[in-house]
A = this chain, B = another copy of it.
Amino acid sequence: MLLDSPAVERLVEAFRRLPGVGKRTAERFALHLLSAPNEDAVLLSEAVREARARIAKCSVCRDLTESDPCAVCSDERRDHSVICVVEQPSGAMAIEKGGTFRGVYHVLHGALNPLEGIGPEELELDRLFRRLEDASVTEVIAATNTTAEGEATAMYLLRQIGADGVKVTRIAHGVPMGGGLEFSDDVTLAHALEGRKTM
Contact = CB atoms under 8 A, between A and B. Distances in A.
A52 interface: yes
A11 interface: yes
Contacts of A13: 43, 47
Given A48-B44, A52-B41, A64 B34 contact: yes
A139 to B, nearest CB: 23
Interface in A9-39: 10-11, 13-15, 17-20, 25, 28-36, 38
A49 B54 contact: no
Given A1-B71, A7-B54, A35-B64, 15 more contacts: A1-B96, A2-B65, A2-B66, A2-B93, A6-B66, A7-B47, A13-B47, A14-B44, A19-B29, A19-B32, A34-B52, A41-B48, A41-B49, A45-B46, A48-B48
